[in-house]
Amino acid sequence: MSEQFKLEIISPEKSFFLNDNVTEAIIPGYEGEMGILKDHISIISFLKPGIIKIFSKDGEDNFYVDDGIAEFKENTLSILTSSIFNLKDQNKSFIENSIKDAENELNKENLEDQKRYLFNQKIEVLKSIN
């Protein structure tokens, strides 16, 4: 079982998730999704709204993130994010509310293109969960 690496997800309030036996992680990078395996080159990437998929020997975990930053270095993947939740823990109404909030934001005028793109992305992802 040498093909495993360490993953930690840290939010400002606490260390959110920690697993030493991750075989693969798929993160929503700013310029596209990426799968990270052991011995990946050192990388720093921004995250866009999306789903983090983590495959470990304990099974599969799915998290939704709004934004954040991921750093992979010496077989440790650290994800810093201020908005994250485990898909298992959230009920539908919460997700629907988030979609509504995002749609309201989108309807505001003079929105920057970049933000518009992010909100669209967010709605799309949240809808796909539902």
Q: Which amino acid is at 29?
A: G
Locate tokens 């995002």: which residue? Answer: 102
Per rule CB under 8 A, is residue 115 in the interface with other proteins? no
Nearest CA among 95, 92, 63 for reference residue 77: 63
What SS3 string covers 53-115?
Answer: EEEECCEEEEEEECCEEEEEECCEEEEECCCEEEHHHCCHHHHHHHHHHHHHHHHCCCCCHHH
CB 12 to other proteins: min, Å: 4
Per rule CB under 8 A, is residue 43 in the interface with other proteins? yes
Per rule CB under 8 A, is residue 14 in the interface with other proteins? yes
Q: Three-state DSSP class for 125?
A: helix
Per rule CB under 8 A, is residue 46 in the interface with other proteins? yes
Name which position in 6, 24, 29, 111 contacts other proteins (CB under 8 A).
29
Per rule CB under 8 A, is residue 73 in the interface with other proteins? yes
Task: Pick between residue 13 and residue 113 the one whose CB is nearest to other proteins.
Answer: 13
Q: Which residues bind other proteins (CB under 8 A)?
A: 8, 10-15, 29-31, 41-46, 69, 71, 73, 78, 80, 82
